[in-house]
Amino acid sequence: MTGHGRSLRGGVLGGVGLAAFVDEVVFHQLLHWHHFYDKASSEAGLVSDGIFHAFGWLAMVSAVFLFADLRRRGTLARTAWSAGLCLGLGGFQLYDGTFQHKVLELHRIRYDVELAPYDWTWNTIAALFLIAGAVLLVRARGRR
């Protein structure tokens, strides 16, 4: 039985969960950059946010138990799992930074500031995570 695919999927879930968690804790609760609801968001934005918020913590919980299951079976492929984690983190952040913030006009990263540097930083970090995930995935495939 190969743990490659399951490790990768578990990592992706963990990455999405972690991105949603950091978003909630750091940007909503600690920095107060994000507003609970800025009343300018579109309805589609609210629905998309609701689904991703709920999916985020459900993904986090599943990732923890999947990780424990992989360890228990001795089939955890660490590189594949890390690749998944980076892909999940970057993918969620890029979706949040482009589709949710821009297309659906759901809340901004920060209010009353010049937004462009924040948007660029946000999406560049997302892209870096995606690249790191892709590199790790290639290495994990090579090692298999």
Partner 1 sequence: MTAVLGWAVAVCCLGYVGAAARLRTRGDAWSLARTASFCAGGAVVVAALSAPWDAWPPFTGHMAAHLALGMVAPLLLAVGRPVTLALRALPVAPRRALLGCVRSRAAAQLMWPPFAALVHTASLWALYRTPVLAAVHHRPWAHLLVSVHLLLSGLLFTFAVLAAEPVRHRTGTALRAGALLAASAAHGVLAKSLYATAPPGTAYRPDDLHAGSQLMYYGGDITGIALAVLLAHQWYAAGGRALHRERRHALGGARPGAAALRD
- Binding-site ranges for partner 1 (CB under 8 A): 36-37, 39, 46-47, 49-51, 53-55, 57-58, 61-62, 64-65, 68-69, 72-73
Rg (CA), the chain: 16
Instruction: Find the shortest distance in angstroms from Cβ 30 to partner 1.
Output: 15
| Count of beta carbons in the 10 Å neighbourhood of residue 75 | 14
* Phi, psi dihedrals of residue 108, rounded to the nearest 5°: -100, 175
Q: Name residues whose C-beta falls within 8 Å of residue 23's C-beta, 6 or more positions apart in sequence.
A: 34, 56, 96
Instruction: Find the shortest distance in angstroms from Cβ 1 to partner 1.
Output: 11
Instruction: Find the shortest distance in angstroms from Cβ 58 to partner 1.
Output: 5
Q: Which is nearer to partner 1, 54 or 103 (CB)?
A: 54
Q: What angle do CA 49, 125, 96 make, to 5 degrees?
A: 10
Q: Which is nearer to partner 1, 30 or 116 (CB)?
A: 30
Q: Which is nearer to partner 1, 44 or 113 (CB)?
A: 44
Q: What angle do CA 131, 100, 51 make, to 5 degrees?
A: 100
Q: What angle do CA 16, 22, 27 make, to 5 degrees?
A: 130
Q: Which is nearer to partner 1, 79 or 100 (CB)?
A: 100
Instruction: Find the shortest distance in angstroms from Cβ 105 to partner 1.
Output: 15
